[in-house]
């Protein structure tokens, strides 16, 4: 049985990691850290773990207990992981980091998009972007995997087959994404206070969301040229889920049958990609609590627009579930272990 540590176990993604790990057939959480709740048990913070998981929470003041584990997840906030993760790697264990601190390969992007300088440039080059459907072979041999952001997961998965096959115009990509409030994390913030969110719907961080360069970086790797997209995120008054609607220009002579063949070619054997064939379209409730990404599309011949729709659970395939999927790959376990 794999002994697993979760650093930052009391955030939403940390909690989701634990909920998956307690039912994982080959892994168990054995050591948990939390700066805000150290000294308490995890079931005192989240009562749903009573009689299921009652481990004490510790501050990450020493790495000896972490070195006794077989695998480490870092679920610390952006900006804090970059200094903590090298210490975790020094234990000799493999690490999946769920923050954005090791996703971008160009360190000069961090001040603009995240608001801080990157202090661990050597580990940017050494990290592997943890989207299995893109980088499964590299993940298998990685020491550090940077778990993708939730919005990028919902955007990259439906776009990769189309860009790989050259059937869309890479210069004309518009992404309209909607996310539940849990994507903002557990720390209280006024814009996500219930009276501010409920019965409201808004766009935010327009033309400046930190996931934009992450999406462009990975899409550029797919099509072999520098990509620029229009990405607009929205906040929906629900707890979890992301629905992304992507507007594309399809090249001449491409019909819906050809597009479905392309998706089947690339994802027909993928364990966590599902297709919604007409008249069905993806909905957030269909993926809630799961590690699936549901994909569908409509080809509008009147405007020559291809409209692709995807849905994920932002806390599972967009965070904790994908992190477990990466751990399974890195440890040579069945990729879907604990996730179906």
Choosing from 150, 197, 223, 293, which is the catalytic residue?
150
Distance of CA 53 to the CA centre of its chain: 25
- The strands making up 230-235's β-sheet, listed across from edge to edge, are 202-203, 230-235, 168-179, 242-250, 305-312, 293-300, 273-275
User: Rounded CA gap, 3 and 198, in Å?
Assistant: 40
Bridge partners (DSSP) listed for residue 307:
247, 298
Please choose, from the candidates 45, 61, 40, the residue with its C-alpha nearest in 3D space to the C-alpha of residue 11.
45
Phi, psi dihedrals of residue 289, rounded to the nearest 5° = 80, 5
Closest CA to 81 of 63, 60, 99: 99
- Strand pairing class (168-179; 242-250): antiparallel
C-alpha to C-alpha distance for 115 and 274, rounded to whole angstroms: 36
Active site (annotated) includes residue 197: no
Q: How far apart are CA 137 and CA 224, in angstroms?
A: 19
Catalytic machinery residues: 150
């Amino acid at each position: 049985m794999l002994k697993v540590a979760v650093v930052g176990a009391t955030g939403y993604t940390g909690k989701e990691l634990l909920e998956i790990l307690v039912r994982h057939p080959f892994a168990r959480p054995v050591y948990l850290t939390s700066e805000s709740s150290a000294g308490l048990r995890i079931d005192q913070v989240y009562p749903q773990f009573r009689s299921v998981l009652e481990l004490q929470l510790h501050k990450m003041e020493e790495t000896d207990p972490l070195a006794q584990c077989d695998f480490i997840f870092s679920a610390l906030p952006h900006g804090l992981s970059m200094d903590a993760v090298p210490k975790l790697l020094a234990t000799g264990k493999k690490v999946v980091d769920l923050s954005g601190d090791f996703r971008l390969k160009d360190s000069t992007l961090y001040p603009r998009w995240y608001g801080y300088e990157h202090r661990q440039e050597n580990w940017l080059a050494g990290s592997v972007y943890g989207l299995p459907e893109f980088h499964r072979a590299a993940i298998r041999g990685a020491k550090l995997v940077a778990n993708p952001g939730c919005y990028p997961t919902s955007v990259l998965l439906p776009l990769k087959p189309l860009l790989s096959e050259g059937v869309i115009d890479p210069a004309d990509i518009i992404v309209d994404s909607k996310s539940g409030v849990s994507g903002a994390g557990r720390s209280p913030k006024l814009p996500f206070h219930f009276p501010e969110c409920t019965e409201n719907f808004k766009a935010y961080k327009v033309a400046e969301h930190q996931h934009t360069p992450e999406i462009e970086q990975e899409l550029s790797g797919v099509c072999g040229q520098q990509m620029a997209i229009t990405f607009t995120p929205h906040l929906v008054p629900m707890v979890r889920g992301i629905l992304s609607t992507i507007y594309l220009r399809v090249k001449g002579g491409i019909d819906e049958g050809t597009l479905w063949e392309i998706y089947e070619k690339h994802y027909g054997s993928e364990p966590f990609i599902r297709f919604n064939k007409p008249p069905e379209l993806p909905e957030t409730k269909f993926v809630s609590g799961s590690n699936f990404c549901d994909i569908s599309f409509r080809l509008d011949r009147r405007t020559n627009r291809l409209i692709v729709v995807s849905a994920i659970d932002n806390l599972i395939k967009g965070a904790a579930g994908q992190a477990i999927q990466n751990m399974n790959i890195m440890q040579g376990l069945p990729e879907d272990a604990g996730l179906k």
